[in-house]
Each structure stands twice: as structure tokens, then as C-alpha cells.
Amino acid sequence: MSNFSNQIRASSALITRFKRLREFQFCSNPVLMRSRSFTTTEGHRPTIVHKRSLDILHDPWFNKGTAFSFTERDRLDLRGLLPPNVMSTEQQIERFIVDLKRLEVNARDGPSEPNALAKWRILNRLHDRNETMYYKVLIANIEEYAPIVYTPTVGQVCQNYSGLFRRPRGMYFSAADRGEMMSMVYNWPADQVDMIVVTDGSRILGLGDLGVQGIGIAIGKLDLYVAAAGINPQRVLPVMIDVGTNNEKLLKDPLYLGLQEHRLDGDEYVAVIDEFMNAVFTRWPNVIVQFEDFQSKWAFKLLQRYRCTYRMFNDDVQGTAGVAIAGLLGAVRAQGKSMIDFPKQKIVVAGAGSAGIGVLNSAWKTMARMLGNNESAFESALSQFWVVDAKGLITEEREYIDPDALPFARRVKEVNRQGLREGASLVEVVREVKPDVLLGLSAVGGLFSKEVLEALRGSTSTRPAIFAMSNPTKNAECTPEEAFSIVGDNIIFASGSPFKDVDLGNDHIGHCNQGNNMYLFPGIGLGTLLSGSRIISDGMLQAAAECLAAYMTEKEVLNGIIYPSISSIRDITKEVAAAVIKEAIEEDLAEGYRDMDARELQKLSQEEIVDFVKNNMWSPHYPTLVYKND
């Protein structure tokens, strides 16, 4: 034992001497000295920790794994608990990425779905070991790994969650917890929570009711909050409200992790959500709650119920609407027209659920505003939309129309004049209307069939736009290959989940945009947090959408690029957050954040607001740790 200790001490003394020598050489080289400030934790204050030894290694927040320095290992009783070689962060990441990539090399037929799930597993395990490194990897490789932690793979993760579940992440409130939620929220270790993403699992992406397994989508969205908006990962909380499931397969599955009873409904359901909202806002009065993937039946009702009382929004209704508006305005510009021509666009929407109706309402209001914002402007704007759901074209003749879809039901006489009728099929509608835009939020993969796309060739637009926005990939209404090959090279194409650009030959690229609410929700949340607004107003949401629309340059939109690349998501999120703050200030809603009170906020210029946002975005780095026993 003592021999062994002596050996360790001797070799570590040697290593220390070698390191000092290297440090000396390093310090005497001014170029290396400059670059050093980027690679060490110098300049960051130490973090006081109240644990040592294995407790540190098992704590993903403090853990640095093989990157603990020798002095730190001594200080924190870690000596002997880690392999002796001290790695830099860069080395750690390289080792991790090599492991991740090995899967691709080994896969017989190239990257495949099981591969994607395996990547998720590896990333998730990294998250459990070392959160700092996890977010470093995610931020540095966002284009590659957003499709793993978010759509499309997150859909598969939710479908398989019972099997994938390892360490718990987030909180679960169930129908069985009624009356207990107020005390339960205190079981969460963090005294401060900035962002909650909550789902009841009733409509996960386009995959339907996945019950308790829907927690995966809340986790995925919050990963983007950290990576894109720089929300501190110690202050995010994924939440699953398990009120049962109507998915018969899950009800019978012996491995299912949730309540095996049918969903609560009516007043009983609302009482559970009310109790949850009351509990979280009591413990964390400044938290922002994002509702995610609630079935349409409840999405609108809960939004109306809470939006004037709590800091909350519904991402599927409001985030999607903003992203769609930005894309629709981009599509107008891509035709070489001014945005103000938007009210002339003929738009066919397939899908009248939470997402479709959210988009329609927002597009209607945007057109009406451009036309003068009066009664006749609203009336005239309405005539630009044709809505098709599972029963076909919605007209006033329909026996029951969801109240949220009612404004968009076409007059029967009017559609008759157009050669259409109640329940007309999508292909008939496209053929007769000859729309500028065909937008899908139906959750039906392949809905934009060959016939539908052929009908769109008759569009009166110089540059028809196709938005196949349903997720995940297999639920997209069509693929970009289908769209470009059938409708033509000149179209604008966007999809909810990522697809590769299409090679059109002759050095031409058919650009595939990702039209996903990920471009807005992180900025809406961050902007609300930093403004200190108690609610999220329509104006704040509109400002977010306009900011995204204006982000793209004229050259980009003319090339068919209407959304930014995901690699710039941190930058676009910063701009969106600043736009949200500016609007909150203008509407007199901003109450300030920490040292920046409402009056100080009001004095900031546009650039200063952007700097304020930037300075409050968390970035992953290892702080120096110091033990303190109290």
C-alpha cells in the first residue's frame, strides 16, 4: 500500500515538474499566452463546493471527469478515483466524439435510425456524468446533434422511453398526486428555476398520445433552451403531468412507466393542471412555463385560462405561429416582392389543430394589420385562407366546427363559385385555388402526394412555397426531393424536421429550410426572463416573429433560404430575446431582471439591450472548485 502510494507520489511529482516546465515555456511565448486564457479557467471565480470524493464525480454539475487537475484531485480527495492521465477539455471532447462516430463507421448501411437512438443514449450518458461537457459538445456541434436531442430522434426516444429510462431527469406530477403538489415542488433541489417545459404527453410531435414517455420532449426542448438561449442548466426543469393515457398499447404494456388508466378529462383534468401551476409559481414566482405538445382540445383552453395570470405560453400554438409567419414573409420576399404584398398570398393550410389554427390566426392578424387593421381589413384577409382537415375543406356547411377553426370556415356560395364544396379533398382545393403557399400541419406523412404536388404546378405564384411542417421526419407531408422534382426547381421549401438540401444538377441546390419553432421559443423564453415581464403579450410574440423574418438577407431569401442555419441559433436567439425585451419595455410590461431594474432597462439603446442579453447567456466552462465545509 505504502509502496503504491510512494510510486503514485513520485510519478505525480515528476508530472508536476514536467507541467511546470511546460508552463514556463508556455508563459514565455506571448502567442501561446494569449491563447491560454481561452483554455484555462483563469478569470472565473472559484465555485465553493460542499462535497468531495465520489460525491463530486457523481454530480454532473461539478464533475469534470478526467479533466480534474492534480492539485484539484488532492484538494477534493479524488486521487486514485480517476485514471492518472489529466485530459484537457478538448481531449475529452475528441475522445467522446470518436466514440460517437465509431457507430457510424460500424453501421453496415450508413447512419440509420437505431444509430440515432444509440447516439442519443451516448449523449444522455454524458449528460449524466458531466453536464458542462455535454453542453459544450451540443453547442459546438449543434447542427449535428440537434436532430438527436430534438426532432426527429427525440420522437423515437419518447416512443421508447420506458426502455431508455436510466437516471431520472425532471419532475413527474401525476393524477395520484392531487393535493400534494404544493409540497412536492420542494423536492426539486434548485431554489431557482427559470424555465419549465411541461407536457401531458397527449400529442407528442405527430406521434400521438405517448403518456408519461412524453417527458422526452420537455427534456429535448430544454436542451435547446440551454444550447440556444444560454439558460443556466441548473435552472431548467422538465415536467411531465401524468393524467393517464388513452394509448391502448401503453395501457397494456407491463414495462410502461406511467399511470395505467385512461386520461382524466373535464374539470378533473383542469384541476390537476391548476394545482400544478399554483404550486410551481408559489415556489418559483419568476419561472416561465412553456406548454408543449398538449392535444389541441386542451392547448387553446389552457392558454386562455393562464396567459393573463401567469408567465406562460404555448409553444405549439404561439411559437409555431411566429416561425410560420417569418417563413411566409420570407416566401413573399423570395418572389422578389415586398413583405407588404403578403395580404395578396393565397394560402392553403392542411391541418386545423393547435399548430394549424395558431398559424392561421397569426397570419390572418398580420395580413389585417397590413391592410389597415379595421373590420374590412380582417374580412378581406380571411378570404386568403382555405383550411383542409381530416374531413376535407372546412366550410360553414360543416355540422360541427371547432370554435377555434370557425373564423376560417369558408362561405358555401363562395367556394361553390370556385368549383369547390364542403369537404373537398386537398388535391381538389389545390387544383382550384392555385395557391401561392401550401402549408401542412396535419401530422400525416406523405399527405402532399404526387397528385397534390402536381396540382400545385398550376399555382399562380412565380415561386410557390411548400411548408411540410409536421414532425418527426416520417410525418412530414412530403420530402424536399418530391417537392422539387414534381413542382419545380424554383419553389421555396421548408420542413419541420431537418432534411438535406437537394442537388438539382447543373450546380444548383434546392434549399431545404427547417421551419421549426426552435427558432423562436428559446428567444421568447430568454427575452421574457430578462425583461421581467409578468406575462407574454401578443406584441412580444409578434416582435419575436418579425425579428426572425428580418434576420435573413435579401440575397439569402432570393436564393430560397428563408430560415437561418441552425449553426447560428445562438445568435438568432440573442436577437429574438432582445426584440422581445424591447417590446416588453415599449408596452410598459418590463419589470427588470436582477440589477437591471425597469428604469435602467428603459434607458438602454438597441445595442445595449443586445449586450445585456449576451452577457446573461450561460456558456459551459469548468470553474475552479474549492471545498468549503459548513
Ligand X SMILES: NC(=O)C1=CN([C@@H]2O[C@H](COP(=O)(O)OP(=O)(O)OC[C@H]3O[C@@H](n4cnc5c(N)ncnc54)[C@H](O)[C@@H]3O)[C@@H](O)[C@H]2O)C=CC1
The set of catalytic residues is 150, 221
Q: Which residue in 435, 440, 428 sits closest to 457, CA to CA? A: 435
Whether residue 292 is annotated as binding a ligand: the answer is yes
Residues 288-307 that bind Mg ion (CB under 5 A): 293
Whether residue 471 is annotated as binding a ligand: the answer is yes
Provide, rounded to whole angstroms, the least separation between the CB of residue 525 and ligand CC(=O)C(=O)O.
14
Secondary structure E strands in 101-184: 171-174
Q: DSSP code of 62?
A: T
Contact residues toward ligand X (CB under 6 A) are: 203, 205-206, 296, 316, 320, 323, 350-356, 388-390, 426, 441-444, 447, 469-471, 475, 496, 515-517
Contact criterion met (CB below 8 Å) for 481 and 284: no
Q: Does 514 bind ligand CC(=O)C(=O)O (CB under 6 A)?
A: no
Residues 518-577 that bind ligand CC(=O)C(=O)O (CB under 6 A): none
Angstrom distance (rounded) from CA 615 to CA 230: 10
Angstrom distance (rounded) from CA 39 to CA 90: 9
In one-letter notation, the amino acid at residue 439 is L
- List the beta bridge partners of residue 625: 47
Show the site string, 273-312: x = touches ligand CC(=O)C(=O)O by CB under 6 A, - = not.
Answer: --------------------x-------------------
Show the site string, 316-335: x = touches Mg ion by CB under 5 A, - = not.
Answer: x-------------------
Q: Does 131 bind ligand CC(=O)C(=O)O (CB under 6 A)?
A: no
Whether residue 293 is annotated as binding a ligand: the answer is yes
Contact criterion met (CB below 8 Å) for 431 and 393: no
Q: Does 315 bind ligand CC(=O)C(=O)O (CB under 6 A)?
A: yes
Looking from the CA of 308 toward its CB, the CA atoms found within 13 Å total 3
Whether residue 611 is annotated as binding a ligand: the answer is no
The x, y and z cell numbers of residue 349, run together, are 393550410
Contact criterion met (CB below 8 Å) for 115 and 103: yes
Q: Considering beta carbons, is residue 185 or 360 the nearer one to ligand X?
A: 360
- Write the DSSP string, 4-22: HHHHHHHHHHHHHHHHHHH
Show the site string, 467-486: x = touches ligand CC(=O)C(=O)O by CB under 6 A, - = not.
Answer: ----x---------------
Q: Which residue in 319, 200, 339 sits closest to 259, CA to CA? A: 200
Contacts of 85 (CB under 8 A, 6+ apart): 66
The residue count for the chain = 630
Q: Does 202 bind ligand CC(=O)C(=O)O (CB under 6 A)?
A: no
Residues 144-183 that bind ligand CC(=O)C(=O)O (CB under 6 A): 151
Contact criterion met (CB below 8 Å) for 333 and 340: no
Which partner in ligand CC(=O)C(=O)O, ligand X, Mg ion, none is near 447 (CB below 5 to 8 A by kind)?
A: ligand X
Q: Does 517 bind ligand CC(=O)C(=O)O (CB under 6 A)?
A: yes
Looking from the CA of 52 toward its CB, the CA atoms found within 13 Å total 12
**Interacting residue ranges for ligand CC(=O)C(=O)O, rule: CB under 6 A:** 151, 205, 293, 315-316, 471, 496, 516-517
**Interacting residue ranges for Mg ion, rule: CB under 5 A:** 293, 316
> Binding site, residues?
203, 292-293, 316, 471, 516
